[in-house]
Amino acid sequence: MRVSVLYPLMPTDPESLVPFAALVRDGGAARLWQGQSLSADTQQVFAYLAGRGYRVPVGTSVVLMPLRHPMEAAIQSRSLALLTGHPTVLGLGPATPDFVAGLHGKPYDSPRDACLAYLREVRRLLGPEDDDGAVRLPPLAHPGVETGLGVLRPALARAAGQVADAAISWMSPHGYVQDTLLPAMAKGAAEAGRPVPRVVTVVHAAVDRPHRNPYRLAYTAARAHLAGPHYTDMLRRAGLRVHHSRPNLGARALVDAGVFLHGTPREIAAGLAEYGRAGVDEIVVNVAGVYADHGREDAVRDLREILTACREAES
């Protein structure tokens, strides 16, 4: 199991990511991830870091399909692989119906079908040249692009099995990944006659320190997702008592169920290891609550100590 780190905010200054990129450059973390940013663009910030000397593996968890044409997504991801010198993970997601309607006039008729069509087109554009006459990218040698699909529930997990290289889940309990998402992915992969994608899971965490309240940290970190019906539906399927109208109670449920990992660095490392035993290939540690409530230095300190504990647990 690989352990990576997430920059948890929409950046307004790319320099704010430098300490996170340094954790990857110095060998403590496997990859630097960002989600969708409507401030400084995610891919452009990664390109800035590469130009700044931080040529590290990067991934998106996730960027939203309705914001860019598949051609543009393929160009950007291939460019990042070239600029960083490492394979890039292009994690994609369909966005909420309201967001899609606001951009395109109406929501997707089927988010699942939209994801399948979009990823197939990105993969075609990134693939070897052929003579079908379709528009495609010119040949370019680069380290490679791994296509990923954000998954919360079985329908998109099955779709990921059909078309993606990686399935990227967010705030998903490890038992749910093992018992629900992985079987759906395996079913989709079998239907398409291809390997089962690897699993990447983003996990909230915070080191237990004086004057920190884990319930407050979980609420700060996850309240937007806990107010989303699709996230709370996923958590209810996993056995948590949550509802999108009560994100404060949802935050307590995350902590009490161990979905928000809180404790010593060694205890957090043990919680992350459970994801590896459940079949997760790459864990992405998200210290959004600490960053928002206590600042960047404390967030990086937590990550550094968690990464050290993970390495010690493996030795």
**Rounded mean pLDDT of 137-161?**
97
Provide the number of structural domains found in the chain: 1
**C-alpha atoms less than 13 angstroms from C-alpha of 239 in its C-beta half-sphere:** 11
Residues 6+ apart with CB under 8 A from 32: 4, 5, 6, 7, 17, 20, 21, 23, 24, 46, 49, 56, 57, 58, 59
**Rounded mean pLDDT of 25-48?**
97
Instruction: Check residue 131 and give its pLDDT.
Output: 60
Residues 6+ apart with CB under 8 A from 312: 266, 269
Residues 6+ apart with CB under 8 A from 127: none
The domain in which residue 100 lies consists of: 2-314
The C-alpha atoms of residue 287 and residue 45 are separated, in whole angstroms, by 19
Query: What is the torsional sign of CA 164, 37, 253, 237?
Result: negative
pLDDT (tens digit per residue) in 277-314:
999 999 999 999 999 999 999 999 999 999 999 999 99
The C-alpha atoms of residue 264 and residue 305 are separated, in whole angstroms, by 9
CATH number where 10 lies: 3.20.20.30
pLDDT (tens digit per residue) in 65-107:
999 999 999 999 999 999 999 999 999 999 999 999 999 999 9
Percent of the chain with pLDDT over 70: 99
pLDDT (tens digit per residue) in 183-242:
999 999 999 999 999 999 999 999 999 999 999 999 999 999 999 999 999 999 999 999
Instruction: Check residue 78 and give its pLDDT.
Output: 97
Under a CB-based contact definition with an 8 Å cutoff, are residues 73 and 48 in contact? Answer: no
- Residue 130 pLDDT > 80, yes or no? no
